[in-house]
């Protein structure tokens, strides 16, 4: 009876803890949205909007397509997130809000799971309504990181669920005591493989680490029994996904892989090393400290392992030592895998934010290790619960608790000015405005014109017509085009030959005002623009392009209209639209050059 009562009390406390952490995560998420000036513009990043395009089409029964009725293409990196988003589009008129709630709940679940683990490590579970200083320190460091909060919540991308699955799998490894725990490990390996292609590398790491822990705790036979089910799950899932992709899309990997990743392995590694250095040394002090603590903890644990090896068998290793090894190995796997992939183009180190909680765990584990080594009995008593008031220990953890708040407050207070991912939200918001204007503008035509764009998320969400993703993420021909994929990371797939094989009616449109009379443009400015020079490899200056495209402004021929679009229009489309009296087409005059003496 006492055991049942204790279990009920513990479950109640876990629910209360989750709710409290969820409220904290909601507050920090709201604060991040407010500080970045995104209130009322919660559209996520432009890449999140690409997810939304596929999710919306899937929920309406069109399948995995970017353009309705067009080719099937896997222009997204997370199958699981598209499936979740499709549910959001099916049941909610505001899917963005629904997905934000999902992300906040995932974040809260991650923090709850890790704080419970830390409490168990420092024996705080003996009193069900207690929380350890270690958990409070972990929460303080983790939840006060604006980059981590932003990427896992209001970007509305797959980062939140990807991070949650990696953390849950790590905690499952830390809790492994018997062969029976292979089943939950298999379930989460399956979900991980549905989430991102990097899971093909991550899953064997979790399976091998789990098998090694069982081997040390038990014997070789038990270890083989343990890895059997996760390994079968891994092979079956990878095989099934590959067969599905070959049958449905025609290729074994997502189209994003072919469009983004350079075939030059050395180039990828160089880019990846640069990505790691930028995160480890230039990102923020906490990232550097966490990596340093992980390395330091690895040295201490390595010395312990060496002493154990010299004095006794490896089976005498303590659970804490084994778990420290797992935390270190998972951490460095998370640091190394993005290096292999060549890093990422997004700001705030997206690929490293997914392991941010695990990195913070290294800081806490190192402090716990040092305190335990200095005086094991006293440290156990100090860490046991919130009730003991040791001045020295309270001072130690107060420093750990307060330092994150002091170090992060500058980022929080000036988040809009310091954020390097704000532009991704702005691109999505402006893209939706442009897509809406084009939808209204061309509604009178029998068919919407095909538009070639660089930013393929927000514009496509709001535009009802077909779009040609010039960077190839959502276009098979461009994604598989020839090229070394060197240049702007993940945005170097554009190929002129593919473009001219499938020329769109409009290229790179923008919203314009009718207040400028006559309509003028600066050809030099267009030629030197970022889109032309970096993404489109000088397309605007190509002689073939100049022969068939002309820079124009299109609006509705009405005195009530104040908005128009400008862009390069194909001659055939211009001939067609000029015959329609509903539209007004203005051919650009060159803007006069500044007076020079």
Q: What is the DSSP string of 436-502?
A: HHHHHHTTTSSSPPPEEES--SHHHHH--S-EEETTSTT-HHHHT-SS---SSTT-----HHHHHHS
Gap between the Cα atoms of 466 and 463, Å rounded: 8
- Contact 552/566 with Cβ under 8 angstroms? yes
Report the length, in residues, of the chain: 597
Of 319, 318, 295, 293, the residue nearest 307 (C-alpha):
318
The pLDDT tens digits along the chain (597 residues) read 555 566 667 778 788 889 999 999 999 999 989 888 887 778 999 999 999 999 999 999 999 999 999 999 999 999 999 999 999 999 987 899 999 999 999 999 999 999 999 988 876 545 556 788 888 889 988 988 889 999 999 999 999 999 999 999 999 999 988 888 899 999 999 999 999 999 999 999 999 999 999 998 888 889 999 999 999 999 999 999 999 999 999 999 999 999 888 888 888 899 999 999 999 887 777 788 888 888 888 888 888 777 766 665 555 567 888 888 999 999 999 999 999 988 888 888 899 999 999 999 998 888 888 777 665 444 444 444 443 445 445 555 555 555 555 455 446 666 776 678 888 999 999 999 999 999 999 988 999 999 999 999 999 999 999 999 999 999 999 999 888 888 888 888 899 999 999 999 999 999 987 766 667 777 788 888 878 888 888 899 999 999 999 999 988 877 566 778 999 999 999 999 888 888 888 887 644 434 333
Gap between the Cα atoms of 183 and 228, Å rounded: 10
Gap between the Cα atoms of 199 and 337, Å rounded: 10
Task: Please state whether the predicted TM-score (pTM) of the whole model is above 0.85.
Answer: yes
Of 6, 23, 46, the residue nearest 461 (C-alpha):
46
- Contact 129/13 with Cβ under 8 angstroms? yes
- Contact 49/43 with Cβ under 8 angstroms? yes
Domain boundaries, the chain: 1-35+74-168, 176-260, 262-377, 422-590
- From first CA to last CA, the distance across the chain in angstroms is 96
Gap between the Cα atoms of 401 and 393, Å rounded: 12
Gap between the Cα atoms of 352 and 279, Å rounded: 8
Tell me the C-alpha to C-alpha distance, in Å, between residue 38 and each of 31, 50, 61, 234, 458: 10, 19, 32, 40, 15
Q: Which residue has the tokens 């997914």?
A: 354
pLDDT of residue 591: 47
Question: Helices 133-143 and 95-121, interaxial angle, to 10°?
Answer: 150
- How is residue 589 annotated by DSSP? E
- How is residue 262 annotated by DSSP? -
pLDDT of residue 404: 52
The two three-digit tokens of residue 8, written as one number: 């009920």
């Amino acid at each position: 009876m006492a055991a049942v009562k204790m279990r009920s009390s513990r479950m109640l406390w876990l629910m209360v803890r989750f709710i409290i952490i969820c409220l904290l995560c909601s507050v920090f998420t709201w604060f991040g949205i407010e500080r970045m000036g995104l209130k009322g513009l919660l559209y996520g990043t432009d890449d999140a909007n690409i997810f939304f395009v596929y999710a919306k089409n899937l929920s309406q029964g069109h399948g995995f397509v970017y353009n309705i009725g067009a080719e099937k293409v896997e222009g997204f990196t997370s199958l699981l997130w598209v499936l979740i988003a499709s549910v959001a589009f099916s049941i909610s008129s505001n899917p963005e809000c629904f997905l934000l709630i999902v992300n906040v709940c995932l974040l809260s679940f991650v923090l709850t799971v890790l704080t419970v683990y830390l409490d168990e490590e420092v024996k705080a579970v003996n009193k069900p309504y207690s929380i350890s200083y270690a958990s409070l320190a972990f929460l303080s460091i983790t939840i006060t990181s604006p980059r981590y909060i932003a990427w896992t919540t209001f970007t509305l991308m797959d980062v939140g669920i990807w991070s949650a699955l990696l953390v849950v799998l790590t905690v499952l490894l830390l809790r492994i005591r018997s062969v029976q725990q292979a089943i939950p490990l298999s379930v989460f390996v399956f979900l991980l493989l549905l989430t991102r292609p990097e899971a093909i590398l991550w899953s064997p790491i979790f399976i091998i680490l789990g098998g090694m822990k069982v081997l040390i705790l038990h014997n070789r036979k038990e270890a083989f029994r343990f890895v059997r089910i996760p390994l079968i799950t891994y092979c079956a899932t990878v095989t099934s996904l590959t067969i599905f992709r070959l049958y449905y899309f025609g290729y074994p990997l997502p189209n994003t892989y072919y469009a983004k990743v350079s075939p030059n392995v050395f180039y990828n590694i160089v880019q990846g090393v640069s990505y790691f250095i930028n995160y480890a040394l230039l990102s923020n002090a906490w990232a550097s400290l966490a990596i340093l603590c992980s390395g330091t903890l690895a040295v201490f644990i390595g010395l312990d392992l060496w002493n154990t090896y010299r004095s006794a068998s490896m089976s005498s290793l303590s659970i804490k030592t084994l778990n420290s090894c797992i935390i270190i190995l998972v951490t460095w796997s998370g640091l190394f895998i993005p290096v292999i992939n060549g890093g990422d183009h997004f700001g705030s180190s997206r690929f490293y934010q997914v392991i941010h909680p695990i990195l913070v765990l290294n800081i806490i584990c190192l402090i716990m290790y040092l305190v335990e080594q200095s005086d094991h009995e006293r440290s156990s008593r100090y860490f046991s619960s919130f009730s003991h008031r040791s001045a020295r220990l309270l001072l130690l953890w107060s420093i750990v608790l307060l330092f994150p708040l002091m170090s992060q407050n500058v980022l929080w207070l000036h988040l809009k000015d310091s954020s390097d991912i704000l532009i991704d939200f702005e691109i999505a918001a402006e893209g939706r405005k442009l897509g809406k204007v084009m939808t209204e503008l061309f509604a009178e035509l029998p068919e919407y014109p095909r538009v070639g764009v660089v930013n393929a998320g927000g514009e496509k969400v709001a535009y009802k017509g077909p779009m040609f993703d010039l960077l190839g993420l959502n276009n098979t021909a461009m994604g598989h085009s020839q090229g070394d994929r060197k240049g702007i990371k993940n945005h170097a797939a554009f190929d002129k030959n593919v473009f001219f094989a499938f020329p769109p009616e409009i290229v790179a449109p923008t919203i314009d005002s009718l207040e400028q009379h006559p309509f003028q443009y600066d050809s030099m400015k267009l030629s030197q623009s970022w889109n032309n020079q970096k993404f489109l490899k000088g397309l605007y200056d190509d002689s073939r392009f100049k022969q068939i495209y002309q820079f124009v402004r299109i609006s509705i021929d009405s005195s009530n209209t104040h908005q128009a679009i400008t862009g390069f229009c194909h001659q055939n489309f211009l001939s067609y639209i000029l015959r329609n009296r509903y539209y007004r087409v203005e051919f650009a005059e060159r803007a006069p050059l500044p007076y020079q003496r």
